[in-house]
């Protein structure tokens, strides 16, 4: 695949997939809902503060690449959905794992299993590894297994939708390595806030839908 995505585009795609699989009643997402999903603090590495203009511009590029589109569902509020499942011919496990990689960057096999399981059932580490191998062994690989770094017990996996990852020099500082691979302890703490963030997202969507409903009687 010759498409190289920016961080913002990766965040949008990962967020669209996540919301489709975890809160299908509120999917596709309005622009406001997508903005909230991209900027939420749980299940994100790094945490971003994107503006509406940035989301709109990135959405336009994704639509041009055939990875996202405006939903054909009726309604006065424009809503958006991904087309990555069809575009890249992914099954549910592969899609969930790729979404986690898009949302949080490089992760171990165990991290991917526990985190992606909320989107698609991953019964074992073996099943997770099999799905990862499907992403890695394609003619145009979507993921790669990174070399094990000094001080890390396990290898990590990373998506390739933003191109090949830059090699990490062994002399890099701890903070630099943490930035590349993600702050695991912080991510675990953020995982505990996931349910609250999801409820806030749903509430925002309900408020927006209610405002549109009220306008029908004005």
Give the model confidence (pLDDT) of 13-67 as tens digits. 999 999 999 999 999 999 999 999 999 999 999 999 999 999 999 999 999 999 9
pLDDT tens-place string over residues 91-128: 999 999 999 999 999 999 999 999 999 999 999 999 99
Q: Token pair for residue 190?
A: 């953020």
CATH architecture of 7-191: Orthogonal Bundle (1.10)
Q: Which pLDDT value is given to residue 205?
A: 62
Q: Which pLDDT value is given to residue 129?
A: 97
pTM, entire model:
0.78
Residue 190 has pLDDT above 50, yes or no: yes
Question: What average pLDDT does the segment 180-206 reach?
Answer: 57
> Where do the domains of the chain lie?
7-191
Q: What angle (nearest 5°) sits at the alpha carbon of residue 120, between those of residues 116 and 123?
A: 85
| Residues 11 and 34: beta-carbon distance below 8 Å | no
pLDDT tens-place string over residues 132-161: 999 999 999 999 999 998 888 899 999 999
Question: Helix/strand/coil (H, E, C) string of 161-213?
Answer: ECECCCCCCCCCCHHHHHHHHCCHHHHHHHHCCHHHHHHHHHHHHHHHHHHHH
């Amino acid at each position: 695949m010759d498409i190289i995505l920016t961080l913002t585009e990766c965040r949008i795609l990962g967020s669209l997939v996540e919301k489709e699989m975890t809160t299908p009643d509120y999917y596709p997402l309005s622009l406001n809902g997508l903005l909230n999903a991209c900027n939420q603090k749980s299940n994100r590495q790094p945490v971003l503060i994107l503006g509406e203009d940035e989301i709109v511009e990135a959405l336009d590029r994704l639509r041009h690449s055939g990875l996202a589109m405006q939903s054909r569902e009726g309604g006065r509020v424009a809503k958006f959905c991904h087309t990555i499942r069809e575009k890249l011919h992914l099954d549910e496990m592969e899609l969930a794992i790729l979404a986690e990689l898009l949302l949080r960057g490089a992760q171990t096999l165990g991290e991917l299993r526990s985190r992606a399981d909320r989107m698609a059932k991953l019964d074992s580490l073996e099943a997770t590894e099999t799905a990862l191998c499907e992403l890695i062994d394609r003619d145009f690989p979507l993921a790669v297994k990174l070399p094990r770094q000094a001080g890390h017990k396990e290898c990590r996996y990373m998506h390739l939708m933003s191109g090949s990852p830059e090699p990490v020099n062994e002399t890099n500082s701890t903070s630099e390595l943490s930035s590349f691979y993600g702050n695991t302890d912080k991510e675990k703490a953020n995982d505990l806030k996931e349910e609250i963030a999801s409820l806030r997202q749903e509430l925002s969507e309900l408020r927006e839908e209610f405002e549109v409903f009220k306008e029908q009687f004005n």
